[in-house]
Amino acid sequence: MLYQLGPLAIDTMPFSADSMGRDGGGDLAAKDVMNRLRPREFMGEADEKIQISGQLLPSKIGGLAELEMAHAMSRSGTALPLMRGDGKMYGWFAIEHVSEQHADLLRTGVGFTVKYTLDLVKVDPDSSDQAGSPAPQGIVGMLLSLFETL
């Protein structure tokens, strides 16, 4: 396993990833003063964002079901734990955006190769999803919407 995002396993097959980027820091507020540099005040942790991307071969090894699961998790806005393959916990993340690009279309309309990108943003695990329900109920709703798409 490369990464585990809630119920979504990102591994070498069938839903593989070939790159990961992480961006974070601190929020600093600038205050205007006369005749000197603007002092900065630390306001807390800035948004931490992670981007995971990869390429699928759906006609050979699959991966489209996992991609649809990622779309369903993105639509639900559910906070999910993210863990790296070596056991490092990154915290709770929501999928902010999913993009996919199909190339060399087959007769079914699906690409022979499908490149995807998952944009994740760190969230508070106690926060509610968009519908205002607690996170565990959001996970159930997300899974039900996944089964509706299949």
Answer whether residue 29 is part of any domain: no
Model confidence at 132, pLDDT cuts 50, 70, 90, reads very low
Answer whether residue 16 is part of any domain: yes
Answer whether residue 31 is part of any domain: no
pLDDT of residue 144: 57
Query: Which residues lie closer than 8 Å to 18 by C-beta, 6 or more apart?
Result: 53, 54, 55
Q: Which residues pair with 2 in a beta bridge?
A: none
Model confidence at 131, pLDDT cuts 50, 70, 90, reads very low
**DSSP class of residue 150?**
-
Top-confidence residue, 149 or 95: 95
Range of the domain at 99: 3-22+48-149
Domains: count for the chain: 1
pLDDT of residue 114: 96
